């Protein structure tokens, strides 16, 4: 297949590109390199089936051309990370809503199949047991950036669903729950690369709030495997799927685990949300996915648990640090 990945130089997109290439597909990545990075895909440069187009998802003419040439489109280009969304809400909303609108319109124009990546942020403050795809969304004020982000992704989902219902465009929606692994950066707030980086440098690990809030972390290679299986399955069309891992951990316990695994002398410090993000910031206390739908349709099962993922992230960041550190010259 000829595959277009929007946002393919990002953390998840680059792993997806790798998987698709290994399956013999032709991959074109469209990325404006705002949060995507060349080093994520540098190792793919010599692959004959790989092409990078540096450009913006809001450039309709460009997206038109690229979608026309593709069979499948994985739409990942979006503003990522709570930190970025809080700092630049306008750009985040534009990229998410307008970008998806453009992609869906082009996919409709050329009768292509598209997978739209959504997020567990959709469920908002719903902290009940494992969240099923049709569970309620519980949100705060739309004037708070976190909830407006959640709403922007919900608009993407609605658009994708309506294009399917009304125009028979084959769309699939995937909600990713805290995807982690090598190449993820802590620059946009993501907790695991941030805390591992702090531990390796001997800095205090910054836990926000009480640290009793919990998350479930999905290994990125499991996430992209699930996405490709859903794209390949004819019955996934017109539906939404959670992709996540069900192993739950509090952020406090996560920080302690990272200290133990790295053998770091660092300590944990607690930072109020108002200081970490913005005044009135609200967090989710708990977010556990129900993954039975994707498991039943395509046999989705995470292969790596949190300890396994942390080992990989620690090794990756250690390598990265070693490659930039130069020995001091002693005279």
Looking at beta carbons only, is 175 or 194 nearer to ligand UDP? 194
CB contact set of 325 (below 8 Å; sequence gap of 6+):
none
HSE-CB for 76 with a 13 A CA cutoff = 29
Q: Can you tell me which residue has the tokens 């992609």?
A: 103
Smallest gap from residue 80 Cβ to ligand UDP (A): 9
Which one of 108, 123, 149, 270 is the catalytic residue? 149
Q: Count CA atoms closer than 13 A to 47's CA, side-chain side.
A: 21
CA 33 to chain centre: 15
**Nearest distance from residue 274's CB to ligand UDP, in Å?**
12
Nearer to ligand UDP, 9 or 82 (CB): 82
Name the minimum Å distance from CB 131 to ligand UDP: 13
Minimum distance of ligand UDP from residue 276's CB (angstroms): 7
Q: Which is nearer to ligand UDP, 118 or 178 (CB)?
A: 178
Least distance to ligand UDP, CB of residue 318, Å: 19
Closest distance between ligand UDP and the C-beta of residue 266, in Å? 13
Please say which residue, 73 or 180, places its beta carbon nearer to ligand UDP. Answer: 180
Closer of 75 and 194 to ligand UDP (Cβ): 194
Instruction: Count Cα neighbours of 161 within 13 Å in the Cβ-side half-sphere.
Output: 12
Cα separation, 190 vs 205, whole angstroms: 13
Asked if 89 and 149 touch (Cβ cutoff 8 Å), the reply is yes
Q: Is 219 an annotated catalytic residue?
A: no
Q: Are strands 205-208 and 214-216 parallel, antiparallel or unpaired?
A: unpaired
Strands (E), the chain: 2-6, 26-31, 50-54, 72-75, 113-119, 171-176, 179-180, 205-208, 214-216, 218-219, 240-243, 248-250, 268-271
In angstroms, what is the minimal distance from the CB of 235 to ligand UDP?
A: 30
Applying CB under 6 A, the residues found at the interface with ligand UDP are 82, 178, 189-191, 194, 206-208, 213, 215, 251, 283
Q: Which is nearer to ligand UDP, 74 or 177 (CB)?
A: 177
Residue of 246, 286, 251, 284 lying closest to 124 (CA atoms): 284
Distance of alpha carbon 9 from alpha carbon 53, whole angstroms: 10
* Cβ proximity to ligand UDP, 104 vs 191, nearer residue: 191
On whether the CB atoms of residues 20 and 228 are closer than 8 A, the answer is: yes
Contacts of 115 (CB under 8 A, 6+ apart): 72, 73, 74, 75, 171, 172, 173, 174, 227, 230, 231
- The answer to whether 64 and 70 are in contact (CB under 8 A) is no
Catalytic residue positions? 149
């Amino acid at each position: 297949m000829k595959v277009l990945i929007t946002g393919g130089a990002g953390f998840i997109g680059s792993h997806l590109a790798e998987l698709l290439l290994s399956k013999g597909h032709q991959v074109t990545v469209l990325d404006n390199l705002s949060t995507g990075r060349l080093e994520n895909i540098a190792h793919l440069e010599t692959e004959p089936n790989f092409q990078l187009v540096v450009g913006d998802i809001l450039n309709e003419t460009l997206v038109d051309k690229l979608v026309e040439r593709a069979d499948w489109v994985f739409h990942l280009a979006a503003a990522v990370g709570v930190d970025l969304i809080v700092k630049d809400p306008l750009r985040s909303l534009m990229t998410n809503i307008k970008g998806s609108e453009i992609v869906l319109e082009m996919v409709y124009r050329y009768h292509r199949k598209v997978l739209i990546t959504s997020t567990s942020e959709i469920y908002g403050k719903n902290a009940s047991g494992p969240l099923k795809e049709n569970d309620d969304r519980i949100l705060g004020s739309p004037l708070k950036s976190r909830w407006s982000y959640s709403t922007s992704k919900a608009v993407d989902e609605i658009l994708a669903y309506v294009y399917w219902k009304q125009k028979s465009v084959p769309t699939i929606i995937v909600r990713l729950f805290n995807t982690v692994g090598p190449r993820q950066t802590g620059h946009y707030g993501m907790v695991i690369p941030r805390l591992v980086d702090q531990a390796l440098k001997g800095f205090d690990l910054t836990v926000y709030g009480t640290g009793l809030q919990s998350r479930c972390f999905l290994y990125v290679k499991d996430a992209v495997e699930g996405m490709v299986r859903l794209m390949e399955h004819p019955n996934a069309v017109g539906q939404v799927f959670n992709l996540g891992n069900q192993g739950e951990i509090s952020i406090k316990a996560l920080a302690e685990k990272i200290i133990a695994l790295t053998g770091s002398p660092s300590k944990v410090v607690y930072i109020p949300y108002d200081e970490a993000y913005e005044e009135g910031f609200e967090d989710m206390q708990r977010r556990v996915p129900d993954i039975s739908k994707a498991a039943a349709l395509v046999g989705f099962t995470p292969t790596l648990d949190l300890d396994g993922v942390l080992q990989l992230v620690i090794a990756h960041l250690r390598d990265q640090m070693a490659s930039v550190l130069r020995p001091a010259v002693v005279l």
